[in-house]
Structure 1
């Protein structure tokens, strides 16, 4: 009798556990998965609902995160389940392939989330991982007629009040249309007094879009970074990150050692005024890497003047001081450039010695040597008259380069 009672209680417990787990699983969005599109459209017409479609692939990380963390949430299910026919399609198989071709102009990446009417017209487009509230807001706005495409038409007709711009930028961001966000934001910024950025609601919408180092708005943020922090109580870490990215990208452009399609070096960018402007920005906003940037610009001036021995002296000094941007990878780039431009044997020997020093670390856990350095060593040895060694190093480079290319091809085949 006792055993029967224990068995009965166990069955009741397991049944309750199963029911609880099932209830948890049913709280999120209930999807029709990879069913025939024809049947989905018929169901949408029968129930007089719009179609919410999750376009995914099996290899997409953000797709898996949405499916794991967002779609199962109760509040998400409560919004979507009564209102829409919810469907998921793998874009690489079955009807998913057909739907990808049908809607590919709206699918800029994965995941893409589409709201579609019963006639197959796309009403809303969102892309990338979406937080639950943002997802609900984006689809709710579309259901109310404030979809991305309707807002776009209103924008084309000249609507420019802040409330509208805020909604339009939010919709563009949800669709991951970064270039359009930038264009709309820049246009609006050009129409207002920059003092408007002192208002918190304006800053929240437009502040993060200000990334053009040559724009008046960027200059305004740089000049007012301290005031934004101490008077307006804005997050200085976020402001610095926003400013540093574009500034350091512009610094990289100014000092880049670029090649043409034939592998020949292009003329160096010669814009001292822009260099001084970037240094001023870094100093005025108290950003990181002022000394490193100043050193890079000084070396760049020496390279423009063709003073390669002096440039090499400062490059090695910066490397010895451990400055950011003067690691073995960066020195290899400088050496490759100067070895192509200079026949100074003393300089060539010094640069070759540095590469040979890096080669000693080839088998270390954190090597400073890269196989690309074999190619540069070959060029230098050729100029120094060491023809046989130059040929051996060129062969070594070609062998390793072919091996790396093959490894990359195999990787992309697997993934």
Structure 2
């Protein structure tokens, strides 16, 4: 009886080991794990960066990993259009803490699409299915080009204000709004108090 238990236990460990290794082999996205290396690669290849902020305990993150990131169409589009970067937000590392603060990460998963300057092009909170992610991928290049064009100079513009708001740079948006008001490029909304 003891021998049957040992053989069964050994077989179970072997099966789990094979299953664990096969999951690593089916990963289709060429994930980077280092932010600076991803920035360098993106600059060299003239690509945006897609950061997947996740945690080990996040069930939705695991569902995205299997339902979205293992989709061949999604994976090939991500690999072609981005430098993909996977960040476990729970690692007790100063660089990880810096990134989670920089991109204001408080929920998981969060997908952040940035340009090579680290500027947020798009931030997606929570689960995104394959079709919606593919649509976002299609639109990102247009948004990235618009950001690059608008920020090629220091001139304040309504388009820059919109970009700041869309990219969740609210402090910069408020400053841009004040400048645009002072330069009479937009009208300040009139407010009235009722007596």
For these two proteins, the number of residue pairs brought into alignment is: 130
**Root mean square deviation of aligned Cα:** 3.0
Aligned to 1:70: 68
Cα distance in 2, alignment partners of residues 83 and 60 from structure 1: 26
Cα distance in 2, alignment partners of residues 81 and 108 from structure 1: 26
Q: TM-score, normalised by structure 1?
A: 0.28
Cα distance in 1, alignment partners of residues 98 and 89 from structure 2: 8
Displacement of 1:108: 4.8
Displacement of 1:146: 8.3
Higher relative contact order (CA 8 A, sep 6+): 2
**Local SS of the residue matching 1:32:** coil
Residue 131 of structure 1, aligned match among 129, 132, 141 = 129
1:27-38 alignment runs, 5 A limit: 28-33=28-33, 35=34, 37-38=35-36
Aligned to 2:50: 52
Cα distance in 2, alignment partners of residues 146 and 116 from structure 1: 8
Aligned to 1:213: none
**Local SS of the residue matching 1:113:** strand
1:14-33 alignment runs, 5 A limit: 25-26=26-27, 28-33=28-33
Structure in which a larger fraction of residues adopt helix: 1
Largest Rg, 1 or 2: 1
Cα distance in 1, alignment partners of residues 126 and 84 from structure 2: 18
CA 1:114/1:78 → structure 2, altered by over 3 Å: closer, same or farther? same
Displacement of 1:139: 2.8
1:1-400 alignment runs, 5 A limit: 25-26=26-27, 28-33=28-33, 35=34, 37-93=35-91, 94=93, 95-104=95-104, 107-145=105-143
**Local SS of the residue matching 1:139:** helix
Cα distance in 1, alignment partners of residues 45 and 144 from structure 2: 23
Structure in which a larger fraction of residues adopt strand: 2
1:51–1:86 contact (8 Å) kept in structure 2: yes
1:115–1:139 contact (8 Å) kept in structure 2: no
1:124–1:139 contact (8 Å) kept in structure 2: no
Structure 1 runs (4+) greater than 6 angstroms displaced? none
Displacement of 1:128: 0.7
**Local SS of the residue matching 1:82:** helix
Displacement of 1:92: 2.0
Q: TM-score, normalised by structure 2?
A: 0.58
**Local SS of the residue matching 2:83:** strand
Cα distance in 2, alignment partners of residues 53 and 63 from structure 1: 13
CA 1:89/1:146 → structure 2, altered by over 3 Å: closer, same or farther? closer
Displacement of 1:120: 0.7
Cα distance in 2, alignment partners of residues 64 and 85 from structure 1: 21
